[in-house]
Amino acid sequence: MEQTPTFADFGLHPDLVRGLADNGITAPFPIQAMTLPVALSRHDIIGQAKTGTGKTLGFGLPLLQHVVAPGDDGFADLEAPGAPQALVVAPTRELAVQVSGDLAKAGTHRGIRVLTIYGGRAYEPQIETLQQGVEVVVGTPGRLLDLAAKGHLNLAHARTVVLDEADEMLDLGFLPDVEKLLALTPAGRHTMLFSATMPGAVVSLARQYMTQPTHIRAMSDDGDDRQTVAAVEQFVYRAHAMDKVEMVARILQAEGRGRSIIFTRTKRTAAKVADELVERGFAAAPLHGDLGQGAREQALRAFRNDKVDVLVATDVAARGIDVEAVTHVINFQCPEDEKTYLHRIGRTGRAGATGVAITFVDWDDLPRWGLINKALDLGYPEPEETYSSSPHLYEQLDIPEGTRGTLPKSARTHEGLSGERLEDLGGPEQRGGKGRGAGRSRGGRTGSEGRREGGSRRREGAAGTAEQSGSAERPRRRRRRTTKVTGTATDAS
């Protein structure tokens, strides 16, 4: 029987292997095992893999291997000690934070300094950290370009560059910014590009900025080339809009249900569903584009720290979320297309785990669902009409008999969103006020990042846009006119 290889077998620095072992990581996933030998020899790579397959360490370990840490021999002999030696560009703030965390854990025993750079936070702490010196920078294109343009970020010594989720950067309109960033890095750099799909613009980017790249594609063991994660059990129901929240409340009480993500198409729906679930006793939190960066990070921390176990998110806000032990994904509203469907259900069944994906299809969404089903060959051309009381819903999803739409008080064991501190990030959104609605879509966006992300959020639906403008134009409350009569006030309006 062939022995499973470990990270130590690839000739990695012992301190990197130790950092992985500290976090219970010893054996590589397929994409990592295929990537490491090529990337460690500093050949350019185009990596293509299903979501949730562990590609972060596939590029992260070679990147860390070739960094000269402050404690290494030769650090003082570098041309610019403390200038970033590696750059990772990510399409979203959430993905940048996740990648940065993984790199910091793996490189902790080598003393490698990793800085995350993105909008919505104050400039000053990021600038101060850059001045003190870092080896690896992970960030979103807008803030990276802003700091580089102001002379605070020097990329002239970044010998390793990684473009993560390149197709998502294309969708968000970041590709021109990525090209500007690449122009600031050395010509002989080691470049790695990772993408779930390979649209023409991404292929063109690779041809222009990479040198004879090796194309690595992670396939499933059974040779199935469909992007749908095989470990995700999928259910599709034709549901009535007025019954959806009741259905969700019962599904969230299914046997073995852990952390769960509910996807909506609009910001307004995400906020409304989260509020209704909280009223029913669930530890739920919203994640959408109208929240300031502090509130978004508060929701994600609460979700990761198990203070809330239900996250209600829009597609744009949830890009790049990588949280362990997500057992259920619920598409409260039908996805726009097959790519969005794959992105959503890919939040569960990650890194070898199993998961459950449930999709609600309204009557009006049947044509759209038909296209998704045909494109992915899912086998659900006509979803079964289903209600919160339907016996097959209970049977298929392991919902205990007698379950109703309110969580029993004995089962309310999570602290909720209030259990996680709302951090003052010092960005523009905090200076605009801290009342309800502070730090909305304009808060915290700077430079090109704000323009790109602002544009992408329009995809969250016209309803979300109407909701925002409607709330801004709410009529003022009429002033109460009073007439003093024998010491009492009476309404004269």
DSSP labels, 29-79: -HHHHHHHHHHHTT--EEEE--TTS-HHHHHHHHHHHT---TTSTTSTTSS
Whether 430 contacts 127, CB under 8 Å: no
Judged by DSSP in three states, 101 sits in helix
Give the closest residue to 299 by CA, choosing from 318, 282, 280, 315.
Answer: 318
Handedness of CA 270, 275, 276, 277 (dihedral sign): positive
Whether 88 contacts 137, CB under 8 Å: yes
Reported confidence tier of residue 164, pLDDT bands at 50, 70, 90: very high
Q: Do domains 7-217 and 232-399 have the same CATH topology?
A: yes
- Supply the pLDDT for residue 343: 82
Tell me which CATH code domain 232-399 carries: 3.40.50.300
Both structure tokens of 383 = 């979803």
Distance separating alpha carbons of residues 382 and 311, to the nearest angstrom: 28
Judged by DSSP in three states, 237 sits in strand
Reported confidence tier of residue 449, pLDDT bands at 50, 70, 90: very low
What does DSSP assign to residue 198? -
Reported confidence tier of residue 210, pLDDT bands at 50, 70, 90: very high
Is residue 447 over pLDDT 50?
A: no
Give the closest residue to 97 by CA, choosing from 88, 85, 84.
Answer: 88
- Supply the pLDDT for residue 462: 43
- Supply the pLDDT for residue 307: 95
- Supply the pLDDT for residue 3: 67
- Supply the pLDDT for residue 323: 77
Please compute the mean of the pLDDT values over residues 134-138 and round it to a whole number. Answer: 97
Is residue 482 over pLDDT 60?
A: no
Least confident of 17-21, 135-139, 236-240, 438-442: 438-442
Reported confidence tier of residue 118, pLDDT bands at 50, 70, 90: very high
Reported confidence tier of residue 492, pLDDT bands at 50, 70, 90: very low
Distance separating alpha carbons of residues 155 and 166, to the nearest angstrom: 20
Cα 374 versus chain centre, distance: 27
Summarize pLDDT for 299-357 with one digit per residue, the tens: 988 998 999 999 999 987 666 677 778 999 999 999 998 888 988 888 887 766 789 99
pLDDT over 70 percentage in the chain? 81
- Supply the pLDDT for residue 453: 45
Summarize pLDDT for 407-438 with one digit per residue, the tens: 999 999 999 999 888 877 666 544 443 333 33
The DSSP line for 161-178 is EEE-SHHHHHHTT-HHHH
Is residue 227 over pLDDT 80?
A: no
Characterise 46 by phi-psi region: left (phi > 0), alpha (psi -120 to 50), beta (else).
Answer: beta
Distance separating alpha carbons of residues 377 and 410, to the nearest angstrom: 42
Please compute the mean of the pLDDT values over residues 253-280 and round it to a whole number. Answer: 96
Both structure tokens of 236 = 């599709």
* Domains of the chain, residue spans: 7-217, 232-399
Whether 28 contacts 5, CB under 8 Å: yes
Summarize pLDDT for 353-391 with one digit per residue, the tens: 789 999 999 999 999 999 999 998 888 999 999 999 999
Q: What is the CA radius of gyration of the chain?
A: 24
Q: What's at 95, amino acid-wise? A: L
Select 7-217's CATH number: 3.90.230.10, 3.90.480.20, 3.40.190.10, 3.40.50.300. 3.40.50.300
- Supply the pLDDT for residue 294: 86
- Measured over all CA atoms, what is the biggest interatomic distance in the chain, rounded to whole angstroms? 98
Please compute the mean of the pLDDT values over residues 240-251 and round it to a whole number. Answer: 96
Whether 64 contacts 58, CB under 8 Å: no
Distance separating alpha carbons of residues 413 and 375, to the nearest angstrom: 41
pLDDT over 90 percentage in the chain? 58
Mean pLDDT score of the chain? 83
Whether 285 contacts 257, CB under 8 Å: no
Please compute the mean of the pLDDT values over residues 19-35 and round it to a whole number. Answer: 89
